[in-house]
Amino acid sequence: MHVYLSSKIYSMKRLLLLTIPLLFNSTISYAQCNTPITLNNILDQNICSGESLTLTANAIAIPLVITSVFDGPLTGGTPKGIELYVINDINDLSEYGLGSANNGGGTDGEEFTFPVTSASAGQYIYLASDSAQFNNWFGFDTDYITSAVNINGDDAIELFHLGDVIDLFGDINLDGSGEPWDYLDGWAYRNSSTGPDGSVFALSSWSFSGPNALDGELLNSTAGSPVPIGMFTHASNIIINTYTMDVTAAGSMDYIFAGDFSGADPAINVALGDTLIFNVNSPSHPFWINATQGTGTSNGVVVTNNGIGSGTITWVPTTAGTYYYNCQFHSMMTNTITVGAPAISYAWDNGVSNGVPFIPTSSGDYIVVANDAFGCTDTETVTVTVNPLPAVDAGTYVQICDGDTVTLSGAGASTYIWDNGIADGVLFIPSTTTLYTVTGTDANGCSGSDTVSIGVWNLPIVDAGSDQTICSGDSVTLTGVGASSFSWDNGVSDAILFTPLSTATYTVTGTDGNACVNSDQVLVTVNALPTVSGGLDVAVCAGDSAILNGSGAVSYAWDNGITDGVHFIPAANTYTVTGTDGNGCENTDQVDVTINPLPTVGAGADQTVCEGDLVTVSGTGASSYTWDNGVSDGVAFNATTTTTYNLTGVDVNGCENTDSLTIVVEECTGIVEIMNSSLTIYPNPTSDQIIIDIKGYNGRINIEVYDLSGRLLETTTNTTVSLKKQAKGIYVFKVSYGEITEEIRVVRD
């Protein structure tokens, strides 16, 4: 059965909260607070003097209620559990939870929290300690299993929302045994349209089976006093409306609505929980419900068929706010959909407005009362403590030199924060004269501030002078400028000549009249002296020239009038060279020149020999000898013509001298007749035979033939001897006859 009011259809169940006079022109009035509201738990505030504070209360209609608790008769006293009823839609069930208070021991807090999910108005939610026994008893599965409902008939149950108790069964501080709400081996069931009751148990809102009512029973369906299941109903304060509209398009300018909202692009205003039905027939103009205004397909709300050109979109807003309907392609086809939330007003004492900042002047309690349109109220008290600000001290003025460190330490609070990147009690280097501000915070989190100035003197501009370059062994003077007094490192005194030993950087520290110091550096480069070499000592022969070449530098100067690299005839024994390198640095070296006398070379006396005779020449007065004309010293040779032979002799120092001799060669050819001798040998020279003739002698003749080395070649008694087999040269014939022996030289040609 439905009753039609103002063209809207209302469920008969919803009309339970309305009283309808018989006259149709009478107004609708609401039942008295069927759905209680609860304020959020506003924490006590602890602020600092002068701070602004905003107190914001937020109340909601409690959408969830405890409707049943039961303690079953099966093994272990199961099933044990509870039934909850959803009064109004819940977007996020995870904001809710529950806990059991066992045997009057007081609250255990929230022991079970629901997962993130939604719940719909009119829905029953079951929680049990055991799934199998729950199903065995009731014949269907529980929704959740948790030890939080492992209850006996004397235990209380708390229902929480965001940590606050919104409904209660039993007394958490009292053991229920023997109490009116005892449900041992039985059950308790909430009377319809009662609750939730907040943190105070309302015994009159419940019906009871009495203890042991279920003893011996096996199934709820056959029990004599079964546990009521899904029997609770509730007359919510909220009236739910359904709005139906036909939507067509007028060109690309407007949507045309007909139905509960009508006209060209009408604005739509509904309440949270109402249902909107759009019957769309605009094929070329897709109809979108969006969170923001504009064309396109982005930012659409999550709803079936959103963006269709033909069909039905059914949308139930779950969050209050402003939405838009838009054409996907044409920006003119749009307007707002305003979803309003049920109005709740908040009244604070002490002149405070809800959600409006104010500055408390002293500590005290602030009370807020929330009222909705149905006469439901809730009250919350907030204690505001106003703490005085700490008296922070930044310290006294400090004057320092640029680059010096300083420490700033605040006093009068617990912690301190400085500006300009300064840390409290930590050394830092100010860059310029600056005013520093410290903010000190005490144990209450209250802050005060103070300032201190740090004066920074500029450092003197100290100059150590230009870098210098010297040669090893040279002296230098370093002088600082730009300050009042100067101190050098490395043992140097200002403006005093000294001799650096090596290349070094010298630092001068200058101090001005403020006792501020600065420094500068100068590089003194000490170039090593060149390693000058005049070369090896030289030995020459008397009359020979010498050449001296320096090395290890760039240019060279010799004493005694010598030019580097130019031949000269030595007259002294020691010569000194001075070499200068590319840095202008000089060094010296000396060379000893030894002048060796020439050897007295002798070639020997002149000689007269026969043509072809072997001749040996030997030099004297030196160590080695060289003869011209192909003659070797001490080696016999055949003299063929009268020749002067020149000898060069070289001594151990390599000095040489010359001498010569003449060998006169006489022709000794034809028959050799020896004066006062009877012996004749011919032909001489010969190429074959030699005939030996001894005039007037007919006796035995003995002939021996020798070469010039004295080697015996042949012995014969024949007076004809052949030299054909012998090499060309001079041979000696030794002829013996009677008591006479004579030697004759014969030439083999």
Can you spell out the DSSP letters for 225-280?
A: SPPP-S------SPPP-EEEEEEEEETTTEEEEEESS-EES--EEEETT-EEEEEE
CATH assignment of the domain containing 313: 2.60.40.420
State the Cα–Cα distance between residues 615 and 669, nearest whole angstrom.
18
Is the pLDDT at 237 greater than 60? The verdict is: no
- What is the percent of the chain with per-residue pLDDT over 70, rounded to a whole number? 92
Decide if 233 is inside a domain.
no
Residues 638 and 680 in one domain: no
Q: Are residues 543 and 657 in the same domain?
A: no
pLDDT at 505 over 60: yes
Residue 543 belongs to a domain: yes
pLDDT at 562: 93
Q: Distance between CA atoms of 700 and 242, rounded to whole angstroms? A: 181
Question: Which stretch of 17-26, 110-119, 326-335, 698-707 has the lowest confidence by average pLDDT?
Answer: 17-26
Average pLDDT of the residues in 589-593: 94
Encode pLDDT of 94-135 as tens digits.
999 999 999 999 999 999 999 999 999 899 999 999 999 999
Confidence of residue 141 (pLDDT cuts 50, 70, 90): very high
Q: Are residues 558 and 659 in the same domain?
A: no
**Within a domain: 533:** no
Average pLDDT over residues 437-458: 95
Strand partners, 386: 47
The verdict on residue 148 lying in a domain is yes
pLDDT band at 11 (very low <50, low <70, confident <90, very high): very low
Instruction: Report the run of H or E that residue 664 belongs to, with start and end.
Output: strand 656-666
In a shared domain, residues 127 and 215:
yes
Alpha helices in 101-229 (DSSP H): 131-138
Q: Identify whether residues 83 and 202 lie together within a single domain.
A: yes
> Among 71-75, 135-139, 223-227, 249-253, whose mean pLDDT is lowest?
249-253
| Per-residue model confidence (pLDDT) at position 639 | 85
Indicate the pLDDT class of residue 573, thresholds 50, 70 and 90: confident
In three-state secondary structure terms, 125 is strand
Separation between Cα atoms, residue 746 and residue 749, nearest integer Å: 10
Q: Does residue 551 lie in a domain region? A: yes
Task: Please report whether residue 240 resides in a domain.
Answer: no
| pLDDT 10s digits, 547-570 | 999 999 999 999 999 999 999 999
Residues 306, 297: Cα–Cα separation, whole Å: 9
Q: Is the dihedral of CA 126, 132, 135, 136 positive or negative?
A: negative
pLDDT of residue 78: 96
Per DSSP, the residues of 563-586 read: -TT--B---SSEEEEEEE-TTS-E
Average pLDDT, the chain: 89
| Nearest residue to 494 via CA among 484, 726, 502, 503 | 484
How far apart are alpha carbons 88 and 196 in whole angstroms?
Answer: 12
The verdict on 586 and 550 lying in the same domain is yes
Residue 612 has pLDDT above 70, yes or no: yes
Claim to verify: residue 501 and residue 482 sit in the same structural domain: yes
Mean pLDDT, rounded, for 237-265: 89
Phi/psi of residue 14, nearest 5 degrees = -70, -25
Residue 593: pLDDT band (50, 70, 90) is very high
Range of the domain at 635: 607-666
Residue 609 has pLDDT above 80, yes or no: no
Give the CATH number of the domain where residue 739 resides.
2.60.40.3080
Same domain as 75, residue 54: no
Q: What does 408-430 look like in DSSP terms, one character per residue?
A: ---BSSSEEEESTT--TT--B--
Domain count, the chain: 9
pLDDT at 373: 65
Q: State the average pLDDT over residues 361-387.
A: 89
Same domain, 66 and 50: no
pTM score, whole prediction: 0.42
Residues 85 and 195 in one domain: yes
Please tell me whether residues 682 and 652 are part of one structural domain. no
Residue with tokens 């307007």: 335
Amino acid at 739: E
Quick check: is 492 in a domain?
Answer: yes
Beta bridge partners of 729: 748
Task: Determine the pLDDT at residue 240.
Answer: 64
Range of weakest confidence among 372-386, 449-463, 469-483: 372-386
CATH number at residue 352: 2.60.40.10
Domain boundary among 630, 647, 666: 666
Question: Could you tell me if 589 and 678 lie in one domain?
Answer: no
Q: Average pLDDT for residues 19-41, to the nearest whole number?
A: 46
For residue 659, being part of any structural domain is answered with yes
User: Is residue 492 pLDDT above 60, yes or no?
Assistant: yes
Average pLDDT over residues 167-179: 95
Locus of tokens 């701070």: 51
State the pLDDT confidence band at 39, using cuts at 50, 70 and 90.
confident
